[in-house]
Amino acid sequence: MFGLSELALVLLVVVVVLGVKKLPELTRSAGKATRIFKSEARALKEQESAAASDAGRVVEGTVLRGDDRPSRD
């Protein structure tokens, strides 16, 4: 991966290319994107765990056929 000196060089190039004005906007949007990604990953994980816990559940009931339906009074 990158060492500290390479990372500093890349950040310096980004500052020069994008300019000091655009850097706060860039970091703000990167932070928002990271938060959205984390929240979506968390929601997906919760959804998968909820589906896994529901898959093993047995619901007791009576199977009704066409002529066995109870009448509504």
Q: What is the pLDDT of residues 22-67, one digit of tens each?
A: 878 888 999 999 999 999 999 999 888 877 776 666 677 777 676 6
Phi, psi of 59 (to 5 degrees): -105, 120
Distances (CA, A) of 71 to 21, 62, 65: 74, 15, 13
Confidence of residue 69 (pLDDT cuts 50, 70, 90): low
N- to C-terminal Cα distance for the chain? 74
Answer yes or no: are the C-beta atoms of 18 and 10 closer than 8 Å. no
What pLDDT band is residue 18 in, cutting at 50, 70 and 90?
confident
The whole-angstrom separation of Cα 23 and Cα 25 is 5
- Which is more confident, 62 or 9? 9
- Which carries the bigger pLDDT value, residue 70 or residue 19? 19
